[in-house]
Amino acid sequence: MTTLKKVAEYAGVSTSTVSRVIAGKPYVKEETRQRVLKAVQELSYSPNILAKSLKVGRTNTIALMVPSIQNQMFPIVTRGVEDTARKHGYTVILCNTDENIEVEKEYIRKLQNRWIDGFIVCSMLPDSDHIRKLKADGFPVVLTSRYYGDSIDAVIIDNYRAAYEAVSYLIITGHKKIAIALGRRQLSLYQQRLEGYLDALKDHGLPIDERLIMNETNGTNSFYELTQKLLDGPVIPDAIFATSDPKAIVVVRAIKDRGFRIPEDISVLGIDNIEMSAFMEPPLTTVSQPLYEMGALAAKKLIDLIDHKNKSEEPPAPVVDVLETELIIRKSTARRK
């Protein structure tokens, strides 16, 4: 193991000089610099990041907390985070929480202890008070995808509006009985998407039929049964608005397996625009979220927060960034007369 000290001895200088050269600091004679660099080369020295981090009090490492990287939204967000982090010299630790608050707490407990500079949290739950506490303790935190209140920086989309516009589109294209495949209402993003759905119906003078609201019971796959039950029931929808693309996929499967055609009998519309949506049969009409940009911006904001903290500045007031969504019209929806 080559250390700074050995390099210093080898080059016949002090450790501080070597440290200066490594850090690219000024005030080193060119000749000395060359001698040190030669020593570094010959001993193939590379600095111990750990020792440095211990000394300077940060690690250039951030943690990304996601419900599960297997949810197809998050690989894209993750790339946004990682690319941005790498560009700024940061490394990313990946944490899957499986929506389990205990796992989340455990990760925070473990990582907070001075070896993570900040957190990007995609897995925020309404009762994630430990995350609020983290922020309150002055630890850099940025939320994305989900958020609750303005006390923490966040990067999100306008879920209400996304749903409102999606459902309005269905109404304008002639649909009268629009069902919704609704995610867990505890998550505010689904609550908001529900409200967008309800208000769109209301504003266009369509009645709200409780029987058309499918509430997630046991994970995304539960919509398979829920959809089939709906189709077996008294009131058959002419469109289903799925509150996420993975849900739409399950809904589509269920509809086909019951022998209905998409979009001729029933239109399906999702939210997310995950890669797969374009390759389904039929390709899915959906509302695209700028997932990569969300990750990238969240990382950028987090790094800014960390920089502030390093300069011992007061953290700026939290900002919630709302990114634009876009309705992507494909073949899973059709005009009704």
Closer residue to DNA (CB): 137 or 232: 137
**Which does residue 218 bind out of DNA, its own copies, none, counting CB within 5 to 8 angstroms by kind?**
none
Closer residue to DNA (CB): 52 or 330: 52
Nearest distance from residue 250's CB to its own copies, in Å? 8
Nearest distance from residue 29's CB to its own copies, in Å? 27
Nearest CA to 106 out of 96, 92, 118, 117 is that of 96
* In contact, 39 and 11? CB cutoff 8 Å: yes
Should residue 56 be labelled a site residue for its own copies when binding is judged by CB under 8 A? no
**Which does residue 115 bind out of DNA, its own copies, none, counting CB within 5 to 8 angstroms by kind?**
its own copies
Sheet holding 178-182, edge to edge: 213-215, 178-182, 239-242, 267-272, 285-288, 326-328
Environment class of residue 306 by beta-carbon count within 10 Å: exposed (0-12), middle (13-18) or buried (19+)?
A: buried
Show Cβ contacts of residue 333 under 8 Å, excluding neighbours closer than 6 positions: 169, 170, 173, 239, 263, 267, 268, 269, 285
Closer residue to DNA (CB): 23 or 317: 23
What x/- string results for residues 170 through 209 when contact with its own copies is judged by CB under 8 A?
----------------------------------------
Closer residue to DNA (CB): 139 or 147: 139
Should residue 92 be labelled a site residue for its own copies when binding is judged by CB under 8 A? yes
Closer residue to DNA (CB): 36 or 254: 36
* In contact, 214 and 274? CB cutoff 8 Å: no
Please give the Cα distance from 309 to 59 (Å, whole number).
13
| Options 69, 198, 323, 328; binder of its own copies; rule CB under 8 A | 69
Should residue 111 be labelled a site residue for its own copies when binding is judged by CB under 8 A? yes
Should residue 114 be labelled a site residue for its own copies when binding is judged by CB under 8 A? yes
* In contact, 231 and 257? CB cutoff 8 Å: no
Nearest distance from residue 40's CB to DNA, in Å? 10
Nearest distance from residue 8's CB to DNA, in Å? 7
What x/- string results for residues 239 through 258 when contact with its own copies is judged by CB under 8 A?
----------xx-xx--x--
Nearest distance from residue 231's CB to its own copies, in Å? 18
Please give the Cα distance from 79 to 292 (Å, whole number).
7
What x/- string results for residues 269 through 298 when contact with its own copies is judged by CB under 8 A?
------xx--xxx-----------------
Closer residue to DNA (CB): 114 or 202: 114
* In contact, 81 and 95? CB cutoff 8 Å: no
Please give the Cα distance from 110 to 120 (Å, whole number).
15
Interacting residues toward DNA by CB under 7 A: 1, 3-5, 12-17, 19-20, 22-23, 26-29, 31-33, 45, 47-48, 51-52, 54-56, 114
In the block, tokens 């903290």 appear at: 309
Should residue 79 be labelled a site residue for its own copies when binding is judged by CB under 8 A? yes
Q: Which of residues 20-49 bind its own copies (CB under 8 A)?
A: 46-49
Q: Give me the residues that bind its own copies (CB under 8 A), please.
A: 1, 46-51, 53-54, 59, 61, 64, 68-70, 72, 74-76, 78-79, 82-83, 91-96, 109-115, 249-250, 252-253, 256, 275-276, 279-281
